[in-house]
Amino acid sequence: MSEAPAAPPTASADVRPGPGQLDLLLAPPRARTGWRVLPARVLAMCVVELQKLRHDRTELYTRAVQPALWLLVFGETFTRIKAIPTGGTPYIDYLAPGIIAQSAMFIAIFYGIMIIWERDAGILTKLLVTPTPRAALIAGKAFAAGVKALVQAVVVIVIAALLGVAMTWNPLRLLGVVVAVVLGSAFFSCLSMTIAGIVLTRDRLMGIGQAITMPLFFASNALYPVAIMPGWLQTVSKMNPLSYQVDALRGLLLGTHAHLALDYAVLVAAAVAGIAAASSLLGRLAR
């Protein structure tokens, strides 16, 4: 860095680097060990995700269209006809946390496509040759998906606020929202990466992603309370992590009755199980 006067190398010319310029590249960095590896890798992946979002915000805008329509069209209409028993809350308020969770899930569920793309491009291959245990790599990717979903959630919350949804601005509760969104997205991105590890091609993953997102969405409490569902659907909803995420978001943002301890326990367990499943299948993508 300090040897700037000695012919700064240019992009086009062939510059033979002087020995002085490379002094730092002679000594390998000191290795992190033990528990420090995981947070460092997660941070590295999240930073990359934010950098990409900063360079190209198109996806952020296009993905805001669907939740905006859900709130604007579906939400406003069903608020008017009062068909869904929400226990006194205006339907659009009731719906908003569900749409936050849904848009976060939609982002996460297609994250596996990115993994396959990165694999085809050689990016994943190269990351697998770094001193990063597979579980740490998957955890990094999962939380990067969480960060991306979080940015999306902020957009949806702003849209909801503009539509007059009365949400809390209590910072502690908002922190709880952040944790719930990140954990839920970590699970759904791991689900997607697990499927990616099984099917191995983008086309198949696209098909499966399309096939499972809507059932996950409808078989949850995002649009209507579990109580009005038929019995079999209630059972499905109870096994769907999205229901627990929506329950937590609703409780935190609107102050409705929620089972926060159970919700977070389920979300943490689901995220851990997802990371375990996806990292055990990552080897198939390395081949």
- Of the pair 23, 164, the CB lying nearest other proteins is at 23
Q: How far is CA 283 from CA 30, 170, 203, in A?
A: 27, 43, 20
The least distance separating other proteins from the CB of residue 220, rounded to whole angstroms, comes to: 32
The least distance separating other proteins from the CB of residue 70, rounded to whole angstroms, comes to: 28
Quickly list DSSP for 57-78. Answer: -HHHHHHHHHHHHIIIIIIHHH
- Which tokens hold the place of 93? 């308020």
> Can you say whether residue 255 is alpha, beta or left, with left for phi > 0 and alpha for psi between -120 and 50 degrees?
left
- Of the pair 76, 120, the CB lying nearest other proteins is at 120
Q: Which residues would be at the binding site for other proteins (CB under 8 A)?
A: 1, 8-19, 21-32, 40-41, 43-44, 47-48, 51-52, 55-56, 120-123, 125-133, 286-287
- Of the pair 85, 131, the CB lying nearest other proteins is at 131
- Of the pair 44, 269, the CB lying nearest other proteins is at 44
- Which tokens hold the place of 167? 């949400």
Number of residues written out for the chain: 287
- Of the pair 125, 234, the CB lying nearest other proteins is at 125
The least distance separating other proteins from the CB of residue 214, rounded to whole angstroms, comes to: 29
Task: Give the whole-angstrom CA distance, residue 254 versus residue 252.
Answer: 6
The least distance separating other proteins from the CB of residue 200, rounded to whole angstroms, comes to: 12
Are residues 192 and 282 in contact, defined by beta-carbon separation less than 8 angstroms?
no
- Of the pair 99, 116, the CB lying nearest other proteins is at 116
Are residues 209 and 177 in contact, defined by beta-carbon separation less than 8 angstroms?
no
DSSP state of 227: G
The least distance separating other proteins from the CB of residue 40, rounded to whole angstroms, comes to: 7
Residue type, 36: R
- Which tokens hold the place of 172? 């502690």
Closest CA to 148 of 44, 249, 51, 217: 51
The least distance separating other proteins from the CB of residue 11, rounded to whole angstroms, comes to: 4
- Of the pair 15, 83, the CB lying nearest other proteins is at 15
Residue type, 227: A
Helix (H) or strand (E) holding 22: none
The least distance separating other proteins from the CB of residue 151, rounded to whole angstroms, comes to: 15
The least distance separating other proteins from the CB of residue 57, rounded to whole angstroms, comes to: 12
Are residues 93 and 157 in contact, defined by beta-carbon separation less than 8 angstroms?
no
- Of the pair 158, 286, the CB lying nearest other proteins is at 286
